Structure 1
Amino acid sequence: MKRTLIGLIAFLLTSTLSIAQHAEEQEITQLSKDKWKWMADKDADRLAALFDEKSVFVHMGGTWGKDREVAIIRSGGIHYKDAKIYETSVEFIGNTAILLNRITLTAVVGGNEVINPFMVMEVYIKKEDGWKMGGMSFTRLTRPNE
Structure 2
Amino acid sequence: MSTEAEILQLSLEKFRWKTEGEIDRIADLFDDDLVFIHITGHQTTKTEWISQLRSKHFVYNRINQREAKVKAYGDTAVLVGKADFRVNGGSLYKLIYTEVYTKKKNQWKLVNLHTTSTY
After TM superposition, is the score higher than 0.5?
Answer: yes
2:10 corresponds to: 31
Instruction: Say which SS state the counterpart of residue 66 (structure 2) adopts.
Output: strand
1:130 corresponds to: 107
C-alpha distance in structure 2 between counterparts of 1:135 and 1:51, whole Å: 9
Count of residue pairs the alignment pairs up:
118
1:102 corresponds to: 82
2:28 corresponds to: 49
C-alpha distance in structure 1 between counterparts of 2:106 and 2:23, whole Å: 19
CA RMSD of aligned residues (A): 1.4
2:117 corresponds to: 140
- Counting helix residues as a fraction of each chain, which structure ranks higher? 1
Structure number with greater CO (CA < 8 Å, separation at least 6) is 2
Give the letter aligned to residue 81 of structure 1. Answer: N
1:115 corresponds to: 92
Instruction: Say which SS state the counterpart of residue 78 (structure 1) adopts.
Output: coil
TM-score (norm 2): 0.92
C-alpha distance in structure 2 between counterparts of 1:86 and 1:60, whole Å: 18
User: Which structure has the bigger radius of gyration?
Assistant: 1
| Unmatched runs of 5 consecutive residues or more in structure 2 | none
Give the fraction of aligned pairs with identical amino acids, expressed as a percent: 30
